Structure 1
Amino acid sequence: MGPVASWMRAHGLTRSLSILALLLTPLVAGGLSYVSPSAARAGPGSDPGEETRGQINGVIKHAETGAPIEFALVVLTCDCFTGSREAMTNARGIYSFGALPAGRYTVRAFAGTGGITKIIELPVGAKFRANFSLDPEPERVVQIVVKAPPVASTAAAAMTISMEEAKQLPVGVRSSRDFTAVVDLSPTASRDVSGITGAETYGEIQERGFTKAAHSSTFSIDVDTASYSNVRRFLRDAARPPADAVRVEELINYFSYDYPAPNTTGAPFSVTTEVADCPWNPKARLLHIGLQGREIPAGKLPPRNLVFLLDVSGSMSSADKLPLLQRAMKLMVSTLTRHDHVSIVVYAGASGVVLPPTSGADQAVIMAALDRLHAGGSTNGGAGIERAYALARERFDPKAINRVILATDGDFNVGDVSQAQLQALIEAERESGVFLSVLGLGTGNLKDQTMEMLADKGNGNYAYIDTIHEARKVLVEQAGATLVTIAKDVKIQVEFDPAQVKSYRLIGYENRALAAKDFDDDHKDAGEIGAGHSVTALYEFVPADPKPDARTKRQRKRDAAQAPQPMAELRLRFKAPDAKHSQLSSFAVVDAGTTLAASSNDFRFSAAVAEFGMLLRDSKHRGRASWAGVTSLAAGALGNDPGHYRHEFLDLVALAQALPKP
């Protein structure tokens, strides 16, 4: 993969021209010619290139001090292209997007946990300067609607900088010729995706079928989201993800849902259940289960004792690996306080400490250590992880978040340490209070199964970072959910009433299944819930066949006035983060006969994502599922979508639909 393709991969901008070819083939075959929208709109004597000469650029400064903010993230979306474009500010706070078609643009600027959104109407060929004043500390999102002036009056609005200023722009987004071309690439840019999976490996998923309701269902929760961003990477590269890369529960749990917050005196999470029609199976219904973890405001997060274990082997040299990781970590570093401590351990042929435990107040020291990293050598992760745990223990604080965060493209060789010894080490450290999270990066070498196992054994999370926007989501926006555990060893058990339910199947969670006896076993490890995190699970079930009704008219009338009988019992077990013994909660689940149309946005959107996953996996349980059905269901259930993630999902559905059939 060349440097330009790697840069596109790291910024989430890749689009394959093969999709366009697929869409245009019927037109050409039918003897019709295709005229680009810009050519169609351009009148006689006009310049067609003017259609994509629009620019949006500006400067981001601190709201109080007026100082430029470096490494602020700017995300650009528009109704005129799919996906998003991202840029980071340079040392002077400058960002820029070029080669923009006319359209309604949403520009979101982020620094620390602060964010502001501007809506810009950009005419053909216009240039617009959108400056931001941000307070990186409190979280606040303000929407400002502005309208760019027509092209004829944009001279004063156009941004002019010197060559020296242009040289200060982030590497990979500045042009060697002029500032106008400082862009992320065209949304139709492509790269060769032949053999995209390379040496990537995925654990086999044996999709479960329907089970008679006489048996209970038990599983561990899963808060990992790596599968969704990995699937997104494949689709943006116009490639079909391997079926085993599609873990449906992780697709569903990538999104936040509008579940009620837990009360302040009970369990650390709330529980929501909803039952309605199944969109892909007219003979079945869906049970939607949602858990919502208690949120902790950014200003009240406990101190962080973080040890980053970074893979700097030769395979990490491409732009979508170590360079992307360095930028991602700088976003996180900008949120640190003097109460936090960060260490950096690297490993390749050997391991070493690049940064000893350093206060979050010394951000310049941490940034400099990140800048010194370079990739080279073979991989020996075993020695590195031992060194990382040793540093975490050195600064261990029982009142702090004590976490090792492993970042790698997946080639995690363990050297002289056996896999069994490595697993035993991780399990022992989690009992001492040092958890392990894993960040996956890059293409062609991803050892997905290994990384998922490491995070699972370490009581941590597994996320895949495909763009700088995803890095901000994981390391900044969801820092609480990623790092602060509010409940551990969370298990769910559902027992259906055979009189009302004939058979059922849990959608996804294949590698989280537990035996019924494991539910009450406090020694059995299970998943964790982070602060503010939500967990969602779906059951597809077939109602029991109706029996002859021998009741009298009076009896039927009396029974109708009574509350309906529960069709299932939902039981949960969990432990407090520092507890040895679990707590038990149980809830009655009632099917009130709700139709799909009358169900909540969360119900319908989660069902659409499940249907999307089944289509990607070519599941034998997909029934009447279709891309059109997914699009219609999701589009009508977007609800409040502050991060634009549900809208982005519609873009991925379109990309998946354009792929050749398997």
Structure 2
Amino acid sequence: MGGRGDYNNIRNEFKQSNNISQALVGTVSGLQITPNSGIPGSSNPIIIRGLSSLNTTNQPLYVINGVIQSDAEFRKLNPNTIESVSILKDASATAIYGNRASNGVIVVKTKKLSRKERKAFEKLQKVQDSINLSKQIQKQNNEEYDAFVENPFELTKNQSVSTFSIDVDKAAYSNIRRMINNGETVNKNAVRIEEMINYFKYDYPQPKNDQPFSINTEYNDSPWNNKHKLLKIGLQGKEIPVSKLPNSNFVFLIDVSGSMESANKLPLLKSSFKVLLDQLRPTDRVGIVVYAGSAGMVLPPTSAKEKVKIIEALDKLQAGGSTAGGEGIELAYKLAQENFIKNGNNRVIIATDGDFNVGASSTGDLQTLVEEKRKSGVFLTCLGFGMGNFKDNRMETLANKGNGNYAYIDNLQEANKFLGKEFAGNMYAIAKDVKIQIEFNPKYVKSYRLIGYENRKLKNEDFTNDKIDAGELGSGHTVTALYEIIPSNVNSEFLPKENDLKYTKSTSDENFNDELATVKFRYKKPDGDTSSEIIHVVKNTESSFSSASPDFKFASSVAWFGLVLRNSDLIKNKDLKEIENLAKKGRGKDDEGYRAEFVRLIETYRSTQK
């Protein structure tokens, strides 16, 4: 905002004129004021430069001491009472005052404010500071995301089989939410659609018999491409009662380097870990390792019943120094292995902004390190914090390659969700190396593509190879995947070009009746080395979209929004209002309000695209 210099210039001008607009001529940058014509009763047009066209019809909005005032009230001001004058333009103006500020805002603060005026002005200042911070973050943005290309459509007659690992990570959704709420541009490579879909729980039944998960499929119309279909595949992990959960051996690995100093990093991290502590039982143990320029143990494995002692150790942590992340990981795993609980829940929980810069710090080095450590039987949870220098690519690599999961904690509400309400699902694995392989019937499916899971795709031969790592499923967890399908009787502009093949059959002589696809699942027990297999057949159905379940509609809306954020070349309809309406239709019960929050997020994003 304008400072003391503006006030001194205005006061000097006042010696020659007691007219506020005359006093502002040439003293406040960004204003164009026509000098006084000298005609009695005439007024000086005031226009903010740099907005659309310069003419007298473009009246700015006047805000005096935080309150919107008329042009007449502004002109009554005595220049000698003014402390500062500043100009808001473009997004800075409309972010606070909406369309009323389309011609800019003149913000005036006088020297003597009433208590009510001071509060109003302070509120305005906070909003403006927030906008400036967001702009500063974007200008200095050093966040890192791995680039990837969205999955293409495959011709079923050439490649009828698709294989991928499940993904239980949820970081992409909360990270995107942070970007949108802060008014930042969403980085398309931060948009991993499977993590957006899997942020939400779906109404799948509990598994029967001794199976670790139930299998649920639904086939209906695609909302974004006319005549296309969507196949939804959902897994519901078996919910184990808290009393029957194995004892836990947790090692908190906490980044206390200089980059963790800001309020949304180490202070939020401490509060988040206190949420987790509230879920633990006296038989569970917690150790704390920290790393900055070097790594060290600040708390040996301690019973969770000594909560005060654990909290004291957390509260003493302070940020400072460079980041020896690799060394910290080595020490944390060493501590977890030394206190390993056989048939228990052994896990390292790393909390950082991912900005490793000492020792093993490259993505490749970290991948090699955690691939070796996962052989110990110790699982991994990665919690990302902060913005500006956040290294999403390293966090995702750690989780993907270390038998782990990954969440981004943007506020205490998210900490309560991931570490409180969904604690068991995120901290207790009931199945590991869960793979999905689907074979489509060319009789009904001309072409298909997997929505998301780009960095979780596997070679078809990896499906039966027990040495190949895949994702973990937690107690009560749900995992959902969507395939977009071009039916055999549909001609679509998105169909891949066909090659004339001499030796490959183009049609199937076999008749599989009404089978759309066969889905196979492989998984291992948390402490096992050999996979088990489950087979599920999907029937071809002709259902109208109006009959789709609320879960189908909601998951479709989340995927659709992700495709728009990525500016996908494979969708025709990118109407945000339609996405919002579909999300509302799929809200369902929504006890926790997460789906309603998603609707508000679309509304917020839509308002920035006008």
Give the structure-1-normalised TM-score: 0.69
Please name the residue that 1:328 is paired with.
272
In structure 2, C-alpha distance between the alignment counterparts of 1:442 and 1:326, rounded to whole Å: 13
Which of structures 1 and 2 has the bigger CA Rg? Answer: 2
Please name the residue that 2:398 is paired with.
454
Please name the residue that 2:607 is paired with.
658
Q: Is the 8 A contact 1:382 1:413 kept in 2?
A: no
In structure 1, C-alpha distance between the alignment counterparts of 2:275 and 2:127, rounded to whole Å: 25
Residues 520 and 30 of structure 1: is their aligned pair in 2 closer, same or farther, counting only changes over 3 Å? farther
Post-superposition CA distance 1:553-603 (Å, at most 9, x none): xxxxxxxxx996111111111111111111111111112211111100000
Q: How far off its partner does 1:189 sit?
A: 5.7
Please name the residue that 2:223 is paired with.
279
Q: How far off its partner does 1:207 sit?
A: 0.7
Once superposed, which parts of structure 1, at least 4 consecutive aligned residues long, lie more than 6 Å away?
A: 28-36, 185-188
Q: How far off its partner does 1:277 sit?
A: 0.6
In structure 1, C-alpha distance between the alignment counterparts of 2:552 and 2:59, rounded to whole Å: 43
The 5 Å alignment of 1:86-105 reads none
Q: How far off its partner does 1:240 sit?
A: 2.1
1:428 pairs with 2:355: no
Please name the residue that 1:378 is paired with.
322
Please name the residue that 1:192 is paired with.
133
Please name the residue that 1:291 is paired with.
235
In structure 1, C-alpha distance between the alignment counterparts of 2:237 and 2:358, rounded to whole Å: 35
In structure 2, C-alpha distance between the alignment counterparts of 1:29 and 1:267, rounded to whole Å: 74
Please name the residue that 1:83 is paired with.
none
In structure 1, C-alpha distance between the alignment counterparts of 2:590 and 2:563, rounded to whole Å: 24
The 5 Å alignment of 1:33-182 reads none
1:248 pairs with 2:188: no
Please name the residue that 1:394 is paired with.
338
DSSP 3-state at the match of 1:487 = strand
Q: How far off its partner does 1:463 sit?
A: 0.6
Please name the residue that 1:219 is paired with.
164
In structure 2, C-alpha distance between the alignment counterparts of 1:196 and 1:188, rounded to whole Å: 12
1:590 pairs with 2:539: yes
Please name the residue that 1:73 is paired with.
none
Amino acid at match of 2:346: N
1:505 pairs with 2:449: yes
Please name the residue that 1:86 is paired with.
none
Amino acid at match of 1:193: S
In structure 1, C-alpha distance between the alignment counterparts of 2:300 and 2:149, rounded to whole Å: 44
Q: Is the 8 A contact 2:442 2:488 kept in 1?
A: yes
Q: How far off its partner does 1:414 sit?
A: 4.7
Residues 546 and 306 of structure 1: is their aligned pair in 2 closer, same or farther, counting only changes over 3 Å? closer
1:206 pairs with 2:155: no
Please name the residue that 2:202 is paired with.
257
Please name the residue that 1:162 is paired with.
none
In structure 1, C-alpha distance between the alignment counterparts of 2:303 and 2:517, rounded to whole Å: 51
- 1:618 corresponds, among 559, 567, 592, to 567
Amino acid at match of 2:562: G
Amino acid at match of 1:254: Y
Amino acid at match of 2:137: I
Residues 416 and 224 of structure 1: is their aligned pair in 2 closer, same or farther, counting only changes over 3 Å? closer
DSSP 3-state at the match of 2:546 = coil
In structure 2, C-alpha distance between the alignment counterparts of 1:546 and 1:199, rounded to whole Å: 45
In structure 2, C-alpha distance between the alignment counterparts of 1:655 and 1:35, rounded to whole Å: 26
Q: How far off its partner does 1:298 sit?
A: 2.9
Please name the residue that 2:413 is paired with.
469
Q: How far off its partner does 1:191 sit?
A: 4.2
Amino acid at match of 1:270: S
Structure 1: unaligned runs, 5 residues or longer: 1-23, 41-176, 548-561
DSSP 3-state at the match of 2:357 = coil
Residues 434 and 563 of structure 1: is their aligned pair in 2 closer, same or farther, counting only changes over 3 Å? closer
Q: How far off its partner does 1:231 sit?
A: 0.1
Q: Is the 8 A contact 1:564 1:590 kept in 2?
A: no
Residues 330 and 275 of structure 1: is their aligned pair in 2 closer, same or farther, counting only changes over 3 Å? same
- 1:545 corresponds, among 461, 483, 489, to 489
Amino acid at match of 1:488: K
Q: How far off its partner does 1:190 sit?
A: 3.9
Structure 2: unaligned runs, 5 residues or longer: 1-50, 69-117, 492-510
Task: Report % sequence identity.
Answer: 48
1:230 pairs with 2:175: yes
In structure 2, C-alpha distance between the alignment counterparts of 1:417 and 1:411, rounded to whole Å: 8
Q: Is the 8 A contact 1:240 1:659 kept in 2?
A: no
Please name the residue that 1:130 is paired with.
none
Q: How far off its partner does 1:338 sit?
A: 1.2
Please name the residue that 1:124 is paired with.
none
DSSP 3-state at the match of 2:547 = coil
Q: How far off its partner does 1:432 sit?
A: 2.0
Please name the residue that 1:317 is paired with.
261
In structure 1, C-alpha distance between the alignment counterparts of 2:56 and 2:553, rounded to whole Å: 38
Q: How far off its partner does 1:206 sit?
A: 0.7
Q: How far off its partner does 1:30 sit?
A: 9.2
Q: Is the 8 A contact 1:248 1:610 kept in 2?
A: yes
Post-superposition CA distance 1:348-389 (Å, at most 9, x none): 001111111111010000010111000001111111111111
Residues 400 and 631 of structure 1: is their aligned pair in 2 closer, same or farther, counting only changes over 3 Å? same
Amino acid at match of 1:327: S
Residues 416 and 607 of structure 1: is their aligned pair in 2 closer, same or farther, counting only changes over 3 Å? closer
In structure 2, C-alpha distance between the alignment counterparts of 1:324 and 1:639, rounded to whole Å: 32
- 1:638 corresponds, among 563, 587, 610, to 587
Q: Is the 8 A contact 1:196 1:444 kept in 2?
A: yes
- 2:514 corresponds, among 551, 565, 585, to 565
1:493 pairs with 2:434: no
Amino acid at match of 1:653: I
In structure 1, C-alpha distance between the alignment counterparts of 2:485 and 2:377, rounded to whole Å: 39
Please name the residue that 2:249 is paired with.
305
Q: How far off its partner does 1:195 sit?
A: 5.4
Q: Is the 8 A contact 1:574 1:582 kept in 2?
A: yes
Q: RMSD between aligned alpha carbons?
A: 2.9
Residues 630 and 304 of structure 1: is their aligned pair in 2 closer, same or farther, counting only changes over 3 Å? same
Amino acid at match of 2:577: A
Q: Is the 8 A contact 1:218 1:519 kept in 2?
A: yes
Amino acid at match of 1:373: L
Q: Is the 8 A contact 1:383 1:417 kept in 2?
A: no
In structure 1, C-alpha distance between the alignment counterparts of 2:360 and 2:283, rounded to whole Å: 36
In structure 1, C-alpha distance between the alignment counterparts of 2:408 and 2:580, rounded to whole Å: 25
Residues 30 and 624 of structure 1: is their aligned pair in 2 closer, same or farther, counting only changes over 3 Å? farther
Q: Is the 8 A contact 1:239 1:659 kept in 2?
A: no
Amino acid at match of 1:399: N
Please name the residue that 2:282 is paired with.
338
Post-superposition CA distance 1:429-451 (Å, at most 9, x none): 32221111111000011111111
In structure 1, C-alpha distance between the alignment counterparts of 2:284 and 2:229, rounded to whole Å: 48
- Single out whichever of 517-526 and 314-323 deviates more from structure 2: 517-526
Post-superposition CA distance 1:318-348 (Å, at most 9, x none): 0000000011111111222210110111100
Q: Is the 8 A contact 2:218 2:552 kept in 1?
A: yes
- 1:407 corresponds, among 324, 347, 351, to 351
Q: How far off its partner does 1:420 sit?
A: 5.5
Amino acid at match of 1:603: F
